[in-house]
Structure formats: structure tokens, C-alpha cells
Chains A and B, each alone.
Chain A
């Protein structure tokens, strides 16, 4: 009779649903409501009456963690009930004019009915509404709900005698009279005996409570709405139907009423009145006691769903479905693992010696393995909103349901529940030894087991787990709690994990999940994205933010590898992907994580200074590819595609990494307003970079040069005066000089003078006549090959044409000169974007996954939103469609960071200035509006753009900035006028 689902929130009508009438004993309801709240369920009563009536009858005094709300007076009030009784949370306050209009509306309605021969009486004036009795006869003075059918018949007879065909006609009459009386948005409701004219109705209650639940991370799909009057009465929609607002689309709607005219589509009708409703509540409580697997809100705007488990795409899905938190990630492999799966758990920054001693990420103990018969994936859903991975498969001999999450509130804690038929599911060992790890120890005591993988480089990953198995009528249940402890430099002790596990057990799975959902809801408050008109793009950006926010710890240091902790490709090594692509996003949505990423670089300054010294340079030379020790980790060789080896020079020559790190430090400070950072621990990231470039630059006839470097475009190696490197070096020198001049810290006046001199002397390849930057000395003399002559982009042109050919041509791997317009637009010649876009755009093969998002941003800035959207979509679908063929090895975090930056700096045109910010939006035609939430200088802001312009709203104090354009000003005026 009832759905096979455990709800996180219950919204129900009072009279006729929870109790037969207002005189009935409410003690049974009280016990159940308090038990539900104890179990963590949020409960909301929705009624037209007032608080004394409902609380007087219910009398519940819950102590949490679930909340009890009374949404009363037909949508005009919300009370939250705690141990001390009801407290008002919200009230719709009518103005004097509205009060007067309501009175006039009621009088006019009664008069109009009288004119038609229908006697009616105003019987009460409640908060924000008046109530008119349509059948003021003694025998119908207080009819019970069970006689609703008779009441409707009697009413319709009465109306028909006076030529009125239906209750709907009466409601329409009341609406007309109300509007004529000056009520602008009258809410007319009827329970057959009465018509109420008001300012609010149950839809307002539903909207309020669903909004509150969403703020706690509970989507509508986790909510049950129960009533007794969903179906029409006398041609009018039932009063409970008002609760089924569009936001409640995925909620489960249940009617326990008589419903003489049936129920609307989507409402489950079981009848039976309050007795059945109590049985429903009892069933929900039983599900909680039995530790049934929670459900997930399958909101297509927030979820990725996969059916089945085809071999092709299996490992790719594991990466996409990774659950991570604070740099500990577990791939979304099926619980039964199997051939072709790589169910890794990885910890950012914890490495082990790989081939030839090169560090790679250490595989940690696994925690998701179950013994399951009949390998069949079923349906898996990753809910980005609440950070859970849910799975369900059904069918004879194969029924299984699981849900798992990596706690967003308790570092290193993971949790899973599973349920299935007794012959389909067995728990097996809670922890599984990782493949390929030699040093693994296992132990356990007092119901806890632990497993530790240690690294040849000194660190390790330890997991401690407890699992409980239960029996239910449908089979068996399993609950597994796991706590991880990891350290890159020492072997973690069992106590470090066991302590966290003990605490997690004390709190319990349901409470862990509740606080996890709430934490993600708060995260999304700071990182919301809404693209009206393009749900695919919106979901892709949310997907990107989800993984970026989960990939880095927000304390200590965070080593964000190219693929994060979603896979072991790229060995977990850190590239400029982290500094330039990912960090700026986290500075805006999770500043602590951005700071931790910078801490990673700060702690490796000494190693970078050594590397500079080895090159006979001063300052710091960060490695192009970085692992744990801060030394260069770039392998010297790679396969050339013809059975031979290719010498790699990026480790030695990609000097722009030094400027990239400095840039990321400054960008962090700009976004967060963390003025102490650049004045303190972050200063050296800039000044040591300046020292490096100052000592690296060679002078020739008064002009400064950086010889033998590699820029972002790796098709052309070991070139001179790469424009990107030189201009970024110039920017670094000038920025360092400015910082030191401002507070006399981190350098001397002589340093400042030298840096400015070197900066001014550096050649940048700019030709004023053409407006072009030459990518490097001699670039314009190469074969002028345009990519479209050989292939459609994106294309790995080095594989297509061979490395020698691309090196002799003007084909680029990715944005190089154009990266300057993206990162340091004030450092390049004003107005030079279009010329360089037109020149380098057609020459860019986008053979790097880092490239499309940058072009999207710049094309938008150049006023070409449709072209920009095309590049944007490429970046958006890169992992979701596995465009690289390597998503199986991990998600491309740089692309994800670039995607968000393209949206914010490209399409919205956000520019941060001293003390302020402004937008210059350029939206593609299909994007009706864009809203992005972020934190700027510690304040929560909403960036908004639509066809009329853009504006920035500071959400903390509701202050609105001046809009950027006159069009936006008009838009604001229109909005102000309508409120």
C-alpha cells in the first residue's frame, strides 16, 4: 500500500488527514511526530486553522534533530515547535490597504451571491482572509469529513436552485469580486461548505516548507505530502491540491481521504482517513529502525544517472561517480567490483614509489566492496546536491539497494548502507586490500577492523571500519561506517582512525547523513549556478563544481593533481592545472581549499629555491610537475607513437610555472580579500618568482630575453621569448615590485628597481602595426598552417601530423598568447584580443583538454557568444562524454575549473577591481538568464545577467550594487517597480 521509500520529510494536512476532527485525541499523532523528529525526519503540518487549534490538539514537543513546523492560517504563518513550544518563524503581514480590500471582497461576494438568490454569511475574519459560509444551515453547522460527499451534493442542489452550475462558478465570482475590491492576487479556496478569500493559501505553506527543506539539502523527491482533499470537490480542485506546487513535482503525494471525485494524476489514493495515515507513519518509523537504505531526490537538474554497466565505459563511470571529500576520493565502482573495475580510494598528496622510483598516488584500503550475486548494475544516481551515490537494481534474484557518501562534516569518514534479499547480498569484509600495494597490514578488535597501506616514501593510508548487519522482512540490511587517516610523511596510527570511527558510530548513520546533506546545502549556497534555458550547461557546471569542491581539503595543504582523487592517471602530480585553472574557482566558492592549495606551494618553496640554485638562478623555480617533495617529477621520456621514445623537455623548460604560482597567489588574495596573505606567507610566492625571472632574463642590447623555454603550447618546444612566459614574467616582476614598495617587506629598494628595469626591458613580441603578439621568436616564419586544412578540431595534431611537422608549423596545441588575455588582460595591449583571437584561433588544434574553456571565455569577451558556447560545450562534455578517451583514469579538473571561469569571466564578464567588481555580460541567445553565487572578499554575492544586462547583489545584507549598464539599470527599475 505504501511506497518502498524512506522519506526525509513529511508534509501533511491536519483536519481529516492526521485527525478526524478538531475534537479527536491527538496523543497518537503526538507520539509519532516526536518519534519521527527523534529519528531525524522533518515534519510539517499544513492547515487553514490557527496555532492554538493545532498545537492544542497535537501538543508535540520534539527535541530534534528533525524539525516540526506548523504552517497555519492557510499559508500565512509558520511556527517551529521545539521543546518549549511553538515559535513564530514567519508571518505574512497584510498592509492596511490589503486588510480593507479583503473586507470589501467578502462583502461584495456575499452581496453578489445574494443577488443571485444564494444566502451566504461572513462567518469569520482570520489572518489575511475572510471566510464565507455557503450553506449556513444548522444541519450543516459542523459536518465531519466523512460526510463530505453528502455536503457537496447538498451544496450543489442549493446552488442549482439559483442557476449556479458548480462550486467553481462561486469561486470565480468570489475572485472577480475580490479583484474588483482591490485584492491584486486573491487566493480563493473552498472546502465545499465555505469559500475563503485571502492573500495566501496552502501553496504558500508548501513553498515555504519545501524551500526550507531545500536549504537543508532535502529535495522534493525525499518528501511525502499527505492529505485528504486532493481531488476536486464540486468542480473545484481540492484544498490539498494547492500543496502540489511545481516545486513539489517529485514529491510523493498520498491521499487518505474519501475523494468522491477521484484524485489528480500523480496522487496515490489509499483512503482510510487518519487511521491509515498513522499506519503510514508507523511504517516510516519501522523503516528507520530497520536501517533501510535512504532514498535520493532524482532531480534531473542535480543528478547524473547511469543504467547498466557496459564494459565500454565502466571505468569512465567509476571516475564520474567518484565521491570525495577533503582530498580523499573513492571511485564509483560497483560494490561487487569485478573484472575491468578500478575501485580505488586515493588520498591527495600521499605518494608511493612507482616505476623507476617516480612517485605515484598510493592506493588506500577499499571500503565499498560487497558480496553480491548476479552482477548487474541496475540504476546508479550521483546526487550533486547532497553528495551521495545511490544505486538500485530490482528483479528476481537481484534486488539490491545501496547508498554511500563521504562525510562533508567529519574528515575521513565514509558511510554506506545496503539492503537486499538474504541470498543476494552478503557483507563480506568491510575493508579490502588495494591491488598492487605491497605493504598492507590488517587488524581489528572490539567489532572494529582496520587495514593500512604504507608507502615506501614514508606515508600511509589507514582505514578503520565497523559494520552492522540486520534482518528485515524483505531480506537483510548492512550499515558500514569507515574512518580514514592518512599522512604523506608518516605511517598513521590506528588510534587516529579508530577515534573518528568511534565518534561516527556515536553520531549514527542517519545523523551523519543529515549533517552531510546540510553541509552540502551550505556549500551550494556559496556556489550556486543557474543557467535559464540551458539545463545541460547548468548541470555540467554543477558537476564541475562538485568535484572541484570535494577534491581539496580546506585546511593544511592540498595537493590537487591533474585528475584529483578521481583516478590514478597522471600519478596525482600537480601541474599548473591546479594553480591557474582550479584554484581561482575555489577562491570564489571554497576559499579555505584555495588557501590550502597555496600552502602546498609555500611548503615547497625551499625545494623550489634549491631547484633555482641548481640552474644558477636566484629565487624559486617550482617544478613543472610536482609530487610530494617539491622536486621535478616530469618523466624525461614518453612514447613517440612509433615504437620509439620522445624526450620531454617540459620539466626543464616550462618556466611559466613560476609565474603561474605567483599569479594564483595574487588571484586568491584579490578574490578573498585576504590582505594578510600577500603581506605574510604568500609574499614569497611572488617575490621569489620575481627573483627567479630577474636572474633568468638575459640582456642583449638593453632588451631582456628568456631563451630556451616552453610555453603553454607544447607543440613548440625550447623556443626563445615565448610571449606568454615573457609577459607573465613581466607581470610577476611588476607585481612583486608593487607589493614590496607598498610595505617595504620581502625585498629591498634595489630589488624593486631591478625588477622594474627587467620588466620594462623584457621583449613581448607585440607588433603595434598588426596588434599581434608573436608567440615566440620566429613563430611567424613557420608554415602558416590552419588546423581546418587538416582536420576538425579538437584534434591531437601531434598524433595526426607527427611532432616534427607540427613543430615546423603554426599549429598550436592550446591557447598560448591568448592565455595572457585570459589571465592578465591588463598586462597586454588594450584592444588586442580580437586580432590575436582571429589569428591564433584558427591555428589552435585544442589538442589539450585545457584549451576549449579558455577560448570560450575569450570568444565571449570578444562579443561572439555563439562561438563561445560551442567551445564551452566542448569543455562541459569533456568528461561526461569521455571526449578524451581517458576519463577512465580520472576527471579533468583543469577543464572543470576553466569551465566555471569561462562562465563567470567570459559570459558574465566579471572583473574584480580595487574595492569593487562589475559585470559585462555577453550571453548566447539560448541563455535567458544566468545566476552565479560566489564569495567575493568574504561576502556572498549573486551575479545575475539576462538580456537586459547584469548586476551584482550582495546577499549578506541585500545591498545591490550599481548595475554595469544602463540596460541593467532599466531592468532594476522594472524590478523595483513591480515589488
Chain B
């Protein structure tokens, strides 16, 4: 039996994390396991888990290290964590999520505390940068989303490297460029695409229309200075869950 870990803390993100894990479990063909790394009592997380009808397993130790160890278990296919703690928490907002994202070679879904959607996702927004590795990383995820009936919206924000040299007639050039981009980078025949110019994170987040949206983001797990702007900004500002898929890792997704 494959598992999707829902890692809850004492913040308002806990309940959305469990909800998101429940909604995503069919994509991964997995069961949900709710865990909490103990910090100053477990009453709140137990109550949240209980309210969701879920058992809770308590872990002891450094939160990030514990979570990484759990997610690394061979039967675990993905993990769901909260985006950021509430004000006044013991760590900088999002820091646990960042550590987990950087170290785990499996999909990690980060859920913002304000996410209020109920049962299932309706649309996957997928930023692609035209790198073959990025497209390969999300291919399995997109397939699972398509099989689950999600609408797939690919978004490409022109970068310095991908900005076209020529753009003959806007009415047609965008249409053809987009068609070829999808042909090269997205195997899903029903996928749509938006081409944008500007700041990538702003353009991607601008596309989110409702709580039924999910962002699927491939990334290199490189958090060094000047890198992963889209990851940082999405973590900080997204109001919907974001699936972070490490480039180059093998992923299990429902056949």
C-alpha cells in the first residue's frame, strides 16, 4: 500500500493540509497518513486529525529532519505540508517546507493555510520553462491529473532565453508558438496553454481563478542565492496548493 504523508503542525494550515492530502490521494493511488512532529503538546493536531476522521501519528525530533525521514520511506509516494506557520511561531514562515522541498526527491505539495476548497481539484496550472528536464518531471503528474479529469493549463512565461526572436502577427504567432510548445513539452492532448510576459511568479499566480486550482511546479531543488525565485514566491504568495516535483526524480503516480 502506498502512502501520502500529511504533515500537520499547530498552525491554521493543518486542516487544509489534511483536506488537500485527501483530495490528492487518488492521483497517487495512496492512502493518507497524518503525522505531527511534537512541539509543546499535541492537543491541537489531535483535534484537527480527529475532526477529519484521521488517525494521527506523533513523531519526536527536529521537525524538518523527522519529516524528511518519514517521506523518504519507500512506501511513501508524496507528502503534503503547510506553506507557512502562523504569526508568532517558533520558525520563519515556510522554513520547514523549504527544507523538506530541498531534500526530498518526491513530490511535495505545499498548502497555504487560507486554502478553503472542499473535495476535489478542477484544474492543474503547470508552469513550463521549455527545458526538457522540466517537462519530463511533470509528465507523470500531468497524466495523473488528466486521468482524474482535471483541466490542464500549461503556462509559459517568456524568459530571456525563450523570448522569441520573431513575432510576426500576434493573432497567429502566439497560437502557433503555443501549439508547438505544447507539442514539444506536454504529452496531454487536451492541455491548453497561456503565454505570458513579465515576472514569472506574478504571471503564474495571476492565472489562479479559484480554490479548485492546483499548481504543479517542477524545480531543481537548488535554493542557492539568486535561484528558485518562482519557488520562493509561489510558496509565499500562492493561495492554492502547489505540487513541487523535483526534476530528475522517478515518480509514482496512478497508472
Contact = CB atoms under 8 A, between A and B. Distances in A.
A794 B166 contact: yes
Contacts of B114: none
Contacts of A643: 194, 196, 206-207
Interface string A431-449: 0000000000000000000
A642 B198 contact: yes
Interface in B28-47: none
A641 B176 contact: no
A641 to B, nearest CB: 5
A311 interface: yes
Given A641-B195, A799-B163, A569 B172 contact: yes
Contacts of A886: 173, 176-177, 180
Given A798-B167, A799-B163, A849-B166, A639 B183 contact: no
Contact of B158 (A315, A640, A799, A848): A799
B248 interface: no
A795 B158 CA distance: 12
A312 B184 contact: yes
Contact of B180 (A638, A791, A799, A888): A888
Interface string A790-806: 01001110111010000
A846 B164 CA distance: 11
Contact of A639 (B174, B184, B206): B174
A69 to B, nearest CB: 50
Question: Which size bracket describes the interface of B in this complex?
Answer: 20 to 34
Most buried by A among B163, B165, B173: B165
A369 interface: no
B228 interface: no
A570 interface: yes
Most buried by A among B163, B169, B206: B169
A635 interface: yes
B227 interface: no
Interface residues of A, number: 44
B197 A311 contact: no
B203 interface: yes
Given A311-B184, A312-B132, A339-B187, A799 B167 contact: yes
B51 interface: no
A884 B170 contact: no
A889 interface: yes
Interface in A525-554: none
Given A639-B195, A643-B206, A795 B165 contact: yes
Contacts, number: 104
Nearest to A791: B163
Contact of B171 (A312, A634, A795, A799): A634
Contacts of B132: 312
Interface string A313-343: 0111000000000000000000000011000
A570 B169 contact: yes
Contact of B167 (A634, A635, A847): A847
A571 interface: yes
Nearest to A882: B180
Contacts of A782: none
Given A886-B177, A886-B180, A642 B203 contact: yes
A646 interface: yes
B172 A884 contact: no
Given A639-B170, A799-B158, A802-B197, A888 B163 contact: no
A902 interface: no
Chain A binding surface SS class: loop
B255 interface: no
B168 A848 contact: yes
Most buried by A among B158, B166, B174: B166
Nearest to A637: B171
B164 A796 contact: yes
Contacts of B173: 884, 886
A652 to B, nearest CB: 14
Nearest to B184: A312
B230 to A, nearest CB: 17
Nearest to A341: B183
B180 A885 contact: yes
Interface in B183-211: 183-184, 187, 194-198, 203, 206-207
Interface string A634-671: 11011111110010101000000000000000000000
A850 interface: yes
Contacts of A640: 170
Nearest to A634: B171
Given A312-B132, A639-B195, A802-B197, A848 B166 contact: yes
B179 interface: yes
Contacts of A562: 168
Contacts of B167: 796, 798-799, 847-848
Interface in A603-639: 634-635, 637-639
A883 interface: yes
Interface string B149-172: 000000000100001111111111
B81 to A, nearest CB: 30
Interface in B3-51: none
A408 B250 CA distance: 52
Most buried by B among A800, A802, A885: A885
Contacts of B179: 888-889
Nearest to B155: A643
A650 B194 CA distance: 24
A375 to B, nearest CB: 15
B163 A796 contact: yes
A886 B194 CA distance: 16
Given A311-B184, A314-B183, A888-B180, A646 B198 contact: no
A893 B166 CA distance: 15
A885 B177 contact: yes
Interface in A705-749: 714
Contacts of B164: 796, 799, 884-885
A846 B175 CA distance: 20
Contact of B183 (A340, A571, A642, A648): A340
Contacts of A639: 170, 174, 195
Nearest to A568: B176
Nearest to B170: A638
Interface in A164-197: none
Contacts of A642: 196-198, 203, 206
Contacts of B184: 311-312
Contacts of A311: 183-184
A315 B177 CA distance: 12
Interface string A190-210: 000000000000000000000
Given A312-B184, A799-B158, 9 more contacts: A570-B176, A638-B170, A641-B196, A643-B206, A796-B163, A796-B167, A847-B168, A884-B173, A885-B177
20 contacts: A314-B183, A638-B170, A638-B171, A639-B174, A642-B198, A643-B194, A643-B207, A650-B169, A795-B165, A796-B166, A796-B167, A799-B164, A802-B197, A878-B166, A884-B177, A885-B181, A886-B180, A888-B180, A888-B183, A889-B179
Interface of B: 132, 158, 163-177, 179-181, 183-184, 187, 194-198, 203, 206-207
Q: Which 8 A-B pairs have the closest CB atoms?
A: A796-B167, A889-B176, A638-B170, A638-B171, A569-B176, A794-B165, A888-B180, A886-B176
